[in-house]
Amino acid sequence: MDIIQALILGLVEGLTEYLPVSSTGHLLLAQRLMGIESSEVSDAFAISIQVGAILAVLGLYRERVGQMILGIAGRSPDGKRLAFNLVAAFIPAAVLGLLLEKVIKKYLFGGETWGLWPVVAAWFAGGLAILVVSAVRRRRGFTPGTGLGLDSLTLKMAVIVGTAQCLAMWPGVSRSLITIVGGLLVGLSLPAAVELSFLLGVVTLGAATAKDMLDHGGAMLATYGWPPLAVGFLAAWLSAVLAVKWMVGYLKSHGMAIFGWYRVVLAIAVTMWLLWPK
């Protein structure tokens, strides 16, 4: 992998990680377009540069993160409750991910069995789901601010959202999409659901990154070296900061329909490309 490829993958990761469009699907597509073969090493690289996106959210939501740190230290009841709820929401995906990791990677992550088709199907289905949810909310007169704030999150609500997050193990579904929709379904406002998705993503992505680095970090560094990893990390951090700021600002006065249309159009475009005679 050269520096330009690492830069592109970092930008793709950062721009798509927290948007409901599936960073995994975009990374698999980008790797395919650049001729990077899917392997444990290349997958480990794609997962490792998530650290840049994670740090972007930690910086942007440092006040909320600080509140949880105070809560763990016994100095903020609200922070302690939120931290506990995030851990509870993380557990279902952690358990199921460990149980199904080999099966998912073998059959769904761009392997020889089905290639990119699982991603394309998830993009299309997820896009339709966003459009339906957006239409229902609009018809019922819901605004982005309709619903509960994040401080009203209960353990039951957190577990429901965390269980829904398991669906995102199918590449192309989008962890952000599932957790945002899950947050809306349990009664959170759109801004609160987005914030919950971001914070839960820090926990989930952090754990996934740590595991992959332990399993394949040595082989990845031996294959690619430090420069591509550093470039990918910095590109992911910068693009994630921009993407998260834009998304938060956009959703204050708009719904999620734009992401639904994007996913549907992308699914159709990639389908045409895959079916085009080579």
As a three-state string, the secondary structure of 154-204 is: CHHHHHHHHHHHHHHHCCCCCHHHHHHHHHHHCCECHHHHHHHHHHHHHHH
- pTM (2 d.p.): 0.88
| Chain-centroid distance, C-alpha 46 | 13
pLDDT band at 155 (very low <50, low <70, confident <90, very high): very high
Whole-number pLDDT of residue 238: 96
pLDDT for 19-74, tens place per residue?
999 998 999 899 989 988 777 788 788 888 888 999 999 999 999 999 999 999 99
Number of Cβ atoms within 10 Å of the Cβ of 99: 10
Q: Domain boundaries in the chain?
A: 3-275
pLDDT for 95-104, tens place per residue?
988 887 777 6
| Chain-centroid distance, C-alpha 234 | 18
pLDDT for 74-83, tens place per residue?
999 999 999 9
Whole-number pLDDT of residue 114: 66
Give the residues across from 188 on adjacent strands.
148
pLDDT for 125-151, tens place per residue?
999 999 998 998 888 888 888 889 999
Share of the chain above pLDDT 90, in %: 63
